[in-house]
Amino acid sequence: METTAKPRSAQIETLREEFKRLGIRKVKIGGFDIDGILRGKYVSLDKFFSVAEGGLGFCDVIFGWDSGDQLYDNAQVTGWHTGYPDTRAVVDLGTFRTIPWEPNTAAFLLDFEESPGKPLAVSPRQLLRRVEEKARSMGFAVKVASEYEFFLFKETPQSLREKGYANLDPLSPGMFGYSWLRSSENAPLVHAIMDGLTAFDIELEAFHTETGPGVYEARSATTRSRGARTRRRSSRPP
């Protein structure tokens, strides 16, 4: 859905109609912490449309702790010396998606600001935007693709802790990169991942087993810089 070409008030009214059409009943909003981890929460429709217009406060502890919610002891941006106040956040209306695995739920990303219109310098998304803008000012066209290699285990969050994160049961034993058979053996999971990402407007160029027990590789399609289209159809920013 195109929203970025319209004034913000018109974008919000368009979203109201789109929410009705899609049966949206709740919204998930989130922003990236200092380590690039997406932190967020669910809000009601009334709350969403309120913050979509005027922004919201988001606890800035996310810029003062690590991936395990342990406070950094050398934090400068925020910490006990600041009292962990709220940071201003603005909903990026152009990031609107529905969440395929969460029926009737919309999703939006947040941008963090020091003050209205002034980006928060330590925000990873704002940093990426500054780097991208600098590249474009130098005449470069930014193209980005990601490649992830990860392990899949037959475990639960509880069993992981009970085992002390050791001697885990991999999805497939042994080492067999680019295995046609093993990816087919786990086809329900593989297809759920690929189809879910496609429905969430994240296109994968390739997905296959890698060398190692339970190792898979996922490679995204190339995305052009802001305002350009991906190979498929999206004009939403990263």
Q: What is the pLDDT of residue 235?
A: 36
The residue behind tokens 């979203």 is 15
Query: What domains can be seen in the chain, in order of their start residue?
Result: 8-137 (3.10.20.70), 146-221 (no CATH)
The pLDDT of residue 221: 84
19 φ/ψ sector (left φ>0, alpha ψ -120 to 50, else beta): alpha
Query: Minimal CA–CA distance to 144: which of 234, 233, 219?
Result: 219
Helix (H) or strand (E) holding 28: strand 26-32
Q: What is the pLDDT of residue 236?
A: 39
Sequence-distant (≥ 6) Cβ neighbours of residue 165 within 8 angstroms: none
Q: Indicate the residue type of 224.
A: R
Q: What is the pTM of this model?
A: 0.85
Q: Looking at residue 144, what is its pLDDT?
A: 85
Low-confidence ranges of the chain (pLDDT < 50): 226-238
Q: Which residue has the tokens 């994968």?
A: 204
